[in-house]
């Protein structure tokens, strides 16, 4: 694998228009990797070899207001491409969340430190190579690569020149930057040229949409802006249309001619013959002129519409007033739509054009009232967005509001102060959240370390000892840090089960004190209720049975009924004394049973009298953990004269 890493050219795609950032990346890359530069997102997404790029370094400004969808889209196009995104403090939180979710590899905070940029690029390259299963060394010799972007310092600012974007991948026949159109793009240009020639032959100069000569020529210019054939073709198509326009005017079809002129003006506004044909169309009827004016307004050709109005003859006819309504009213309708759409600058420009023609036109006052209402709406929306924490939207709304003539400087200033205060508050809250997250991460790391110690203690059967190196000790530490954590809950159950296992082993060995200690610890942990209850019952019964089997002297019992044994007559006649050792069982009710003679001094004299007397004795029963139980008792009875 190490050999493959040395032979492989590592490709980096740079998506940014910031000269300073581009310079930093270029210096960090040096000659070790192949560096491509995309000036916008469309160019990056259109890169034929995007799937082979190891590292994407992108400026968040190039990804739009919501970077997540674009990052996901780039990730789908190139699943093994590592992404490093640079952004300012405003979008830092969003980018950090994407990094934490594993959507991007690293976030660079602008302005970036050169050393940090170099470090992150090397780390990202290493990650990219690991994904591909290739070992990567920072000290690898420079690969064969294209000329890197060069910094050119001018009098105004530093400008970074872009390298040609479409470059064959890891190919020994890579072409020079000046010949990049000779690859896949040449075939596409030739295809559009063929389609344009067919369209010209079929007289499809402007229509139908996406299948006419002008459309194909513009596709060529999008690939090669200096293509001479495309420029000549557009001029030829316009000449053909103008020739047809002349025939339309001769056949008294001014509407068709006017429509053609609008299309030509959109393509070649400086065509030398447009003025001539405008004069011909201007000689048409007032009704036709109004239709032409409407079409010009719909196409955004306001100057043409104003020109038609200015050239309309006066007199007693009502046509000039109707023409004024068509032109001025139509332009103001566009202004109203622009206001509704938030294009305040465009609306003000259209209103000014109307004022130049007729400053007292009736619709102006109405649209100015609309502007006043729009100002109030924008200010209200800006306050709402500020309160909701959408400060970027609030600032955008304020910029629209302050362009309206009725805008209040003091109100705008107050709104911006409100945004600044909200930004400060959000910053403090973000800092607090970051600090909380740091604390949580620290706690999680500590709990994880304790959990590892806990598992090792369980494996070594260090359940309750030694004092600071047992499983219960580490479990208690986990509870102090995070009592609701999964590690503590799972550990409690595991330790409780282990303690019960040890309790049963000690109980079988009749190590009752040790068994009791393990059971108490298990009960404190609160394991399975049924298992704990069974263990407690088993321990109590076994321990009580053991206690009862141990013979104790009668002096340790409290007697409630004593019967003096009779001195046997036979022993009395013979003047014989002696003693009898006896064991018996005191039941849970205090009665005596299971009397057994275990020793006598003079056999055959005192045994019967002893049995008869002891059988009538009564005792208070022995109690273990609140429950009376049987007890084996021993006593020596002496028979003296």
Where residue 613 falls among pLDDT bands split at 50, 70, 90?
Answer: very high
**Are 138 and 9 in a shared domain?**
yes
Q: Would you say residue 321 lies in a domain?
A: yes
- Cis, peptide link before residue 68, omega less than 30° from 0: no
Q: Would you say residue 290 lies in a domain?
A: no
**Are 542 and 563 in a shared domain?**
no
How far apart are alpha carbons 598 and 618 in whole angstroms?
Answer: 21
pTM beyond 0.85: the answer is no
For residue 600, give the CATH number of its domain.
Answer: 3.30.2420.10
How far apart are alpha carbons 287 and 268 in whole angstroms?
Answer: 27
**Residue ending a domain, choose from 115, 134, 169:** 169
Mean pLDDT of 451-455: 92
How far apart are alpha carbons 103 and 88 in whole angstroms?
Answer: 18
Instruction: Examine the pLDDT at 179 and tell me if it is beyond 50.
Output: no
Instruction: Examine the pLDDT at 157 and tell me if it is beyond 50.
Output: no
pLDDT of residue 174: 33
How far apart are alpha carbons 620 and 560 in whole angstroms?
Answer: 7
Handedness of CA 214, 218, 219, 224 (dihedral sign): positive
- Average pLDDT of the chain is 80
**Are 58 and 96 in a shared domain?**
yes
Mean pLDDT of 519-532: 86
Q: Would you say residue 427 lies in a domain?
A: no
- Alpha carbon distance, N-terminus to C-terminus of the chain: 109
Count of structural domains, the chain: 5
Where residue 320 falls among pLDDT bands split at 50, 70, 90?
Answer: low
Q: How many residues does the chain have?
A: 641
Q: Would you say residue 104 lies in a domain?
A: yes
pLDDT of residue 193: 87
**Are 13 and 161 in a shared domain?**
yes
**Are 43 and 157 in a shared domain?**
yes
Q: Would you say residue 297 lies in a domain?
A: no
pLDDT of residue 632: 92
pLDDT of residue 113: 64
**Are 202 and 247 in a shared domain?**
yes
pLDDT of residue 191: 82
**Are 464 and 596 in a shared domain?**
no
Q: Kind and range of the H or E element at 584?
A: strand 578-586
Nearest to 70 by CA among 58, 52, 55: 58
Where residue 94 falls among pLDDT bands split at 50, 70, 90?
Answer: confident
Where residue 566 falls among pLDDT bands split at 50, 70, 90?
Answer: very high
Q: Would you say residue 10 lies in a domain?
A: yes
3-state secondary structure (DSSP) of residue 109: strand
Domain that holds residue 210: 186-284
**Are 230 and 151 in a shared domain?**
no
**Are 322 and 467 in a shared domain?**
no
For residue 116, give the CATH number of its domain.
Answer: 3.40.50.2300
Where residue 405 falls among pLDDT bands split at 50, 70, 90?
Answer: confident
**Are 221 and 320 in a shared domain?**
no
Burial pattern 229-245, b for ≥16 Cβ within 10 A else e, equals ebeebbeebbeebbeeb
Handedness of CA 323, 325, 328, 332 (dihedral sign): negative
**Are 97 and 162 in a shared domain?**
yes
Q: Would you say residue 35 lies in a domain?
A: yes
**Residue ending a domain, choose from 546, 570, 598:** 546
- Lowest-pLDDT range, 40-49, 225-234, 500-509, 573-582? 40-49
Instruction: Examine the pLDDT at 21 and tell me if it is beyond 90.
Output: no
> Could you tell me where the DSSP H helices lie in 460-561?
471-481, 486-508, 512-525, 529-549
**Residue ending a domain, choose from 250, 284, 318:** 284
Instruction: Examine the pLDDT at 259 and tell me if it is beyond 80.
Output: no
Q: What is the pLDDT of residues 57-90, one digit of tens each?
A: 988 888 877 788 888 888 877 888 888 888 776 6
Where residue 136 falls among pLDDT bands split at 50, 70, 90?
Answer: low
**Are 163 and 31 in a shared domain?**
yes
Where residue 252 falls among pLDDT bands split at 50, 70, 90?
Answer: low
Q: Would you say residue 9 lies in a domain?
A: yes
């Amino acid at each position: 694998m190490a050999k493959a890493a040395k032979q492989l050219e590592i490709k980096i795609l740079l998506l940014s228009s910031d000269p300073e950032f581009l310079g930093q990346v270029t210096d960090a890359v040096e000659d070790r990797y192949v560096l491509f530069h995309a000036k916008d997102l469309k160019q990056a997404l259109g890169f034929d070899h995007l799937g082979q790029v190891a590292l994407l370094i992108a400026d968040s400004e190039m990804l739009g207001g919501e970077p997540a969808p674009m990052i996901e889209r780039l990730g789908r196009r190139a699943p093994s491409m590592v992404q490093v995104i640079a952004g300012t403090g405003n979008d830092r939180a969003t980018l950090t969340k994407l990094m934490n979710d594993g959507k991007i590899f690293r976030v660079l905070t602008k302005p970036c430190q050169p050393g940090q940029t170099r470090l992150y690029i090397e780390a990202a390259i290493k990650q990219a190579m690991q994904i591909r299963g290739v070992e990567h060394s920072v000290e690898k010799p420079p690969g064969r690569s294209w000329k890197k972007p060069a910094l050119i310092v001018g009098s105004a600012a530093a400008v970074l020149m872009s390298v040609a974007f479409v470059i064959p991948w890891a190919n020994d026949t890579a072409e020079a930057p000046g010949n990049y159109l000779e690859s896949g793009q040449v075939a596409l240009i030739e295809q559009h040229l063929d389609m344009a020639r067919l369209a010209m032959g079929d007289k499809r100069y402007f229509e139908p949409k996406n299948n006419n000569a002008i459309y194909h020529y513009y596709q060529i210019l999008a690939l090669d802006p200096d293509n001479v054939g495309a420029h000549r073709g557009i001029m030829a198509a316009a000449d053909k249309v103008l020739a047809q326009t002349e025939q339309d005017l001769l056949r008294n079809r001014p509407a068709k001619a006017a429509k053609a002129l609008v299309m030509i003006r959109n393509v070649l506004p400086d065509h030398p013959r447009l003025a001539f044909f405008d004069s011909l169309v201007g000689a048409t009827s007032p009704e036709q002129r109004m239709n032409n004016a409407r079409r010009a307004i719909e196409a955004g050709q306001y100057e043409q519409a104003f020109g038609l109005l200015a050239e309309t003859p006066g007199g007693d006819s009502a046509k000039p007033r109707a023409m004024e309504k068509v032109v001025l009213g139509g332009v103001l309708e566009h202004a109203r739509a622009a206001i509704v759409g938030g294009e305040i600058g465009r609306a003000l420009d259209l209103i000014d054009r109307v004022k130049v023609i007729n400053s007292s036109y009736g619709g102006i006052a109405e649209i100015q009232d609309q502007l006043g209402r729009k100002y109030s709406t924008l200010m209200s929306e800006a306050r709402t967005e500020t309160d909701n924490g959408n400060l970027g939207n609030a600032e955008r709304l304020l910029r629209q509001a302050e362009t309206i003539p009725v805008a209040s400087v003091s109100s705008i200033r107050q709104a911006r102060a409100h945004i600044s205060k909200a930004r400060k508050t959000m910053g403090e809250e973000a800092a607090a959240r970051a600090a909380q997250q740091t604390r949580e991460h620290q706690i999680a790391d500590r709990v994880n370390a304790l959990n590892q110690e806990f598992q090792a203690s369980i494996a070594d059967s260090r359940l309750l000892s030694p004092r600071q190196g047992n499983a219960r000790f580490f479990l208690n530490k986990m509870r102090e840090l995070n009592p609701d954590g999964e590690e503590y809950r799972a550990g409690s159950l595991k330790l409780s089960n282990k303690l019960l296992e040890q309790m049963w082993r000690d109980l079988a060995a009749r190590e009752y004190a040790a068994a009791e200690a393990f059971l108490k610890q298990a009960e404190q942990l609160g394991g399975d209720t049924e298992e704990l209850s069974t263990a407690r019952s088993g321990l109590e019964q076994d321990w009580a049975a053991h206690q009862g089997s141990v013979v104790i002297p009668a002096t340790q019992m409290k007697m409630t009924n004593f019967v003096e044994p009779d001195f046997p007559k036979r022993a009395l006649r013979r003047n014989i004394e002696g003693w009898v050792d006896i064991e018996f069982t005191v039941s849970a009710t205090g009665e005596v049973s299971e009397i057994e003679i275990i020793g006598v001094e003079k056999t055959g004299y005192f045994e019967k009298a002893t049995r008869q007397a002891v059988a009538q004795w009564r005792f208070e029963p022995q109690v273990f953990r609140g429950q009376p139980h049987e007890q084996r008792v021993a006593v020596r009875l002496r028979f003296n004269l």
